[in-house]
Amino acid sequence: RPSILSRFARRYHRQHRFRSVNNETMKFPIVSLLAVTVPASAWAPIAARPTFASMASALFSTSTEVIGEEATESFRLKFKTDDGDISPWHDIPLSSEDGTYNMVVEIPKMTKAKMEVSTKEESNPIAQDIKKGKLRDYHGPIFWNYGCLPQTWEDPNVEHPELKCFGDDDPIDVVEIGSSSLAMGSVKPVKPLGVLAMIDDGELDWKVLAVATDDPLAEEYNDIDDVPESITAGIREWFRWYKTPDDKPINSFGFDEKFLDVATTKEVIEETHEAWKKLKSGETDAGKLWIGK
């Protein structure tokens, strides 16, 4: 099993010529949350601390605050404004006026800690996932930036008409394939290219493949057919096998294991956005999820 992952890793690295990232000088974009949509001109690079992002704009600023220590159960990365905490899931807009989407980065590429937006905690900070009382780490690094799209939700109460499985109760996931390592907690405008229907333990767990709009690949890639098969296969196989070192079964995929095109991807995103709207309005029972006061 490790040999399968390492083979795809080598192939992917050769294609994209990964460069090591000096965390001390890593740069990332900032986000303005002025309204439900954000123009691309609101984004600009600023210097960052090694792992976490700070975001600010002249009229409406947000920042991230670290609580606790890294690699401990107490660690939290909170999102804040001058008025207090905000939720990266509920308060950051899904999309911008130019048609791009806002990705909340949870896991920078080439790292192993399984960080995620905590959907059941107040204000939904980023924390490290815990399984059976232990902090969760991947058994090897993930080769892409990983995160979620805000204001989306995969409804566990709704069965997919073709796949006959229910949503995984989380925001929709994003795999960003650009050349830069994106800081945890940064909010990055991305261009969707395709989507993969992963079925994990009987639950539907969509994976949106995207590229940051300021990455050189964004000029080359406009739809899933533009993305080399070595990349799409590498992503699919990584997610197929990554849980097996914990004696879990391999994951499966719908639609003949193919990534669906960008038009379908946007339809899937819109469906999860509509599900989120019903969740936020109270039309759908939130259960233990934190959806705001």
Active site residues: 138
Which residues are CB-contacts of 217 (< 8 A; sequence separation ≥ 6)? 177, 178, 179, 211
What string of DSSP letters covers the chain?
Answer: -HHHHHHHHHHHHHHHT-----TTT-EEE----SSSS--GGG--EEE--SSB--B--SSS-EEEEEES-TTSTT-EEEEEETTEEE-TTTTS-SB-TTS-EEEEEEE-TT--B-EEE-TTSTT--EEE-EETTEE-B-SS--SSEEEE-TT----TT-B-TTT--EE-SSPPEEEE-SSSPPPBT-EEEEEEEEEEEEEETTEEEEEEEEEETTSTHHHH-SSGGGS-HHHHHHHHHHHHHTTGGGTPPPPEESGGGPPB-HHHHHHHHHHHHHHHHHHHHTSS--TT-----
